[in-house]
Structure 1
Amino acid sequence: MKSFAAAVALTFVSGATARTFTVYNNCPFTIWPAMFTDLNAGSAAPNQATGWQQDRYQAVSFNVPDNWTAGRIWGRRDCDFSSNPGPNSCLDGGCNGGLECDPHTGTGVPPATVAEFTLSAAGGSDWYDVSLVDGYNLPMSITNNVGCNVADCPVDLGPNCPSAIQGPYDSSGFPVGCKTACKAGLAPDPRNDPYCCTGSHDTAATCPSSGVLYYNYFKGNCPNSYAYAYDESSGTALWTCSSGLNADYTITFCP
């Protein structure tokens, strides 16, 4: 996501309090949450492993620094780390490193629904969103305890996903993912891609949502999500909450 990649690391203020983040698995099956901090944007990181197993209806809470910058949390499905742990150990959302994602390269394999955060960002606000820029693999919501907006993609986009971008599939043939046109590589020239907003399409003006194949499928079903690289113009992609409220956040899978 452009705005997060461009985020400027903020200096930690001595005495600043940490936030509480809770990851809740409301899915009727086990998932393997994963977390990544872009260390090029900031060094502050949560006091939680970068990946763990979480059974159905289980909650996991941990502290997150007030200045967590360019942080990502997502879920992985159908994982087996017993042999050759790495990005292909899960049916979707896997990462370099296996169960615990590598802190430098473990960003996750698309398709994956991603919760993104930059706390105490410019203007005294927390920034957060549910991103479908890397595609979809699990329903997700971000809520908070101070009344700020909910970011979410609460529906299962797999079953009705257009065939050209549907998948992967579980052992029964059920689609557990939906790629974006960008991640599916549908453009003839990846260096000049109107779906990935690269080359001559690398600005908001030259990469409008109207030119992004299948944008309406993602945004129409999940209007409060970040559906492509320049989706902030929709007004319902990137959400903000005053940093002064010291919000605690809950990321719910299968809300």
Structure 2
Amino acid sequence: MAPKLLTLLFPLLVAGMIGFSRSARITIVNNCKETIWPGITGMNSTGDGFPLKPTQSSVFSAPADWNGRVWARTACNFDSRGNGTCLTGGCGHSLKCAGPGQPPASIAEFGLGGDLDYYDVSLVDGFNVPVVVRPINGRGKCSPVGCYDDLRPNCPGELAMNSSVDGKTVIACRSACTVFDTDEYCCRGAFSTPMACAPTNYSRIFKQGCPAAYSFAYDDPTSIITCSATDYVVTFCSSRNETQCTYHDNRLVCDRGGAARAAVAVWEVVVTAVICLTAIL
């Protein structure tokens, strides 16, 4: 009975692991010197949010055909029931985000599923912390996007959002659309087409500091990237030469400066599962 049952269960175990490997894993890493509260929202997901202390990481398994966003909330204060507020990126008064965050916030955006994934980092809603999206072991161009530099020290005074504690420390850099609310800065009305919506002096400041991120609504050519068969690492306050790792197709894959290294782990998992089943039976 035991060998026959193992024969039936073994393909199911392998199929289950293969199916799981097809879902994109998004590893979220906090390399900032302060605690952040990542927010996650999108289609086919109920939303999420949690604290992430410096050097900590967490893994989000994106649903199939997921279109969503990941961003950092800063200077949050939540009680034991998950009620509270954040100074930047807040999504109402809840720890778990059911909708987009409040600008200003640096946003990692994803359109996953099908033959190609689309991903970018958007500063259209302003900037609160640096964020970089790096695909791991994918097929295609698959280049990192986002912002390594902190734009807050050089934020124009009229866009600066200052701390409510001392009134001087710049905690975020708002978008010109948020501050001035004009059709030109918001790319709406007569400026709602790619031809009419052009870079402004303010968006150029964002682009100069973060050339691989969206600086205004139609900044597509240099900012949106495609990739396939990959997982992603979203790092807040990333450095250019750090090693990023994730489990991709049941392999531990690390990337440093574009060079990937893989350690096979799937067979060990299968063998362990079979040994456990044998012991039970």
Which bracket does the TM-score occupy, shorter chain normalised? 0.7 to 0.9
1:171 lines up with 2:165 in the alignment: yes
CA RMSD of aligned residues (A): 2.0
- Please report how far the alpha carbon of residue 128 of structure 1 lies from its aligned counterpart in structure 2 after TM superposition: 0.4
- Please report how far the alpha carbon of residue 152 of structure 1 lies from its aligned counterpart in structure 2 after TM superposition: 1.3
1:201 lines up with 2:186 in the alignment: no
Give percent identity, aligned residues only.
40
In structure 2, relative to structure 1, the CA distance for the partners of 1:231 and 1:101 (3 Å cut) is: same
Answer whether contact 2:82 2:95 (CA < 8 A) is retained.
Answer: no
2:74 match: 77
1:223 lines up with 2:228 in the alignment: no
Which one-letter code corresponds to 1:174 in the other structure?
T
Aligned counterpart for 2:130 among listed residues 135, 139, 142 = 139
Distance 2:209 2:131 in 1: 13
Equivalent runs, 1:235-254 vs 2, <5 Å: 235-242=221-228, 246-254=229-237
Answer whether contact 2:27 2:58 (CA < 8 A) is retained.
Answer: yes
- Please report how far the alpha carbon of residue 98 of structure 1 lies from its aligned counterpart in structure 2 after TM superposition: 1.4
Distance 2:129 2:73 in 1: 8
Gaps of 5+ in 1: 1-14, 188-192
Distance 1:237 1:27 in 2: 23
Answer whether contact 2:147 2:213 (CA < 8 A) is retained.
Answer: yes
In structure 2, relative to structure 1, the CA distance for the partners of 1:92 and 1:168 (3 Å cut) is: farther
In structure 2, relative to structure 1, the CA distance for the partners of 1:144 and 1:183 (3 Å cut) is: same
Answer whether contact 1:18 1:66 (CA < 8 A) is retained.
Answer: yes
Q: How many residues align?
A: 214
Answer whether contact 1:159 1:174 (CA < 8 A) is retained.
Answer: no
Gaps of 5+ in 2: 1-18, 239-281
What TM-score results when the alignment is normalised by the length of structure 2? 0.72
1:6 match: none
Distance 1:180 1:141 in 2: 19
2:248 match: none
Equivalent runs, 1:1-255 vs 2, <5 Å: 17-37=22-42, 39=43, 44-45=44-45, 50-69=48-67, 71-82=68-79, 85=83, 89-102=85-98, 106-120=99-113, 124-146=115-137, 148-169=142-163, 171-172=165-166, 173-187=168-182, 193-209=183-199, 212-232=200-220, 235-242=221-228, 246-255=229-238
Q: Matched residue of 2:217: which SS? A: coil
Distance 2:204 2:174 in 1: 13
In structure 2, relative to structure 1, the CA distance for the partners of 1:195 and 1:136 (3 Å cut) is: same
Distance 2:147 2:180 in 1: 23
Q: Matched residue of 1:183: which SS? A: helix
Which one-letter code corresponds to 1:195 in the other structure?
Y
Answer whether contact 1:195 1:213 (CA < 8 A) is retained.
Answer: no
Answer whether contact 1:32 1:79 (CA < 8 A) is retained.
Answer: yes
Distance 2:40 2:93 in 1: 12
Larger Rg belongs to: 2
Q: String of CA shifts for 1:103-140, please: whole Å, max 9, x gaps.
A: xxx2111000000000125xx21110010010000001
Q: Which has the higher helix share?
A: 2
Distance 1:213 1:111 in 2: 18
Distance 1:139 1:60 in 2: 18
- Please report how far the alpha carbon of residue 236 of structure 1 lies from its aligned counterpart in structure 2 after TM superposition: 1.6
